[in-house]
Amino acid sequence: MKVSFHGHSVVKVDTGKHRIIIDPFINGNEACDLDPGTEKADVILLTHGHNDHVGETVEIAKNNNALVVATAELADYFASKGLNTHPMHIGGSCEFEFGKVQFTQAFHGSSYTEEDGTVIYGGMPGGILLTVNGKTIYHLGDTALFTDLKMYGELNDIDLAFIPIGDNFTMGPSDALLAAEWVNAKKVVPVHYNTFPPIEQDPEAWASKVKAGNAHVMQVGETIDLE
């Protein structure tokens, strides 16, 4: 299974049978190396409704007839746009053909702003635990630090965790160090930084301070093999 990073919080998972993309924010994400017009995906997973995470969900989903998995309010909104959706909610899990998805808590907001400025309530924000072929990936979404992250680390054998470090809109570097310790993943990767001026950070400096020494700063387009 191959896991790649594409700037901001965009993560792709290729299981060999299925292509999964998490939070496909491409246009407006200057670091992103993907083209929404040609991107192939069977499944789109959304942590929450903000535009810098929903991104090009509609275009990619329509081009590929992809399944959009999101919290209920967000899934219902995209179902009204003609997309194939599966609604879930915080704490719930579901076994799909491609793997198991569980939504965790995330302390943040969730709304989607349409082109005309209309703001759509996106339900509760979440993190996503994705388990495929015995390997678990935890995308924390845009969360603040909260102590239940330690519980998630205790309840799950997490192989790879994507942790926001940008500050201002999410937890910052100091809190993210605690998050890395608490989720207890075999490898942690910083995300949600340097896309906009308020979230400029030094990911290498952060990674060097992670106590377990298991942090890895992924370059855009870089892939990690989870065997």
- Domain spans in the chain, listed from the N-terminal domain onward: 2-214
Q: Select from 139, 186, 157, 133 the least CA-distant residue to 16.
A: 133
Cα dihedral 170, 173, 174, 178 sign = positive
Averaged pLDDT for residues 90-112:
98
Averaged pLDDT for residues 184-190:
98
Averaged pLDDT for residues 184-200:
98
What does the alpha-carbon distance between residue 114 and residue 104 come to, in Å, rounded to a whole number? Answer: 26
Averaged pLDDT for residues 50-63:
98
What does the alpha-carbon distance between residue 164 and residue 176 come to, in Å, rounded to a whole number? Answer: 7
Residue 40 pLDDT greater than 90, yes or no: yes
Count CB neighbours of 36 within 10 A. 18
Residue 138 pLDDT greater than 90, yes or no: yes
Residue 63 pLDDT greater than 90, yes or no: yes
Computed over every residue of the chain, the mean pLDDT equals 97
pLDDT at position 31 is 92
Give the residue ranges of DSSP H helices in 23-80. Answer: 51-54, 57-64, 72-79
Answer whether 0.85 is exceeded by the pTM: yes
Query: Selecting from 1.10.10.1150, 3.10.180.10, 3.10.50.40, 3.60.15.10, what CATH number does the domain 2-214 have?
Result: 3.60.15.10
pLDDT at position 175 is 98
Residue 14 pLDDT greater than 90, yes or no: yes
Spatial contact of 226 and 9, defined as CB atoms under 8 Å apart: no
* Amino acid residing at 118: T
Residue 227 pLDDT greater than 90, yes or no: no
Averaged pLDDT for residues 98-121:
97
Averaged pLDDT for residues 8-24:
98
Spatial contact of 162 and 149, defined as CB atoms under 8 Å apart: no
What does the alpha-carbon distance between residue 131 and residue 102 come to, in Å, rounded to a whole number? Answer: 9
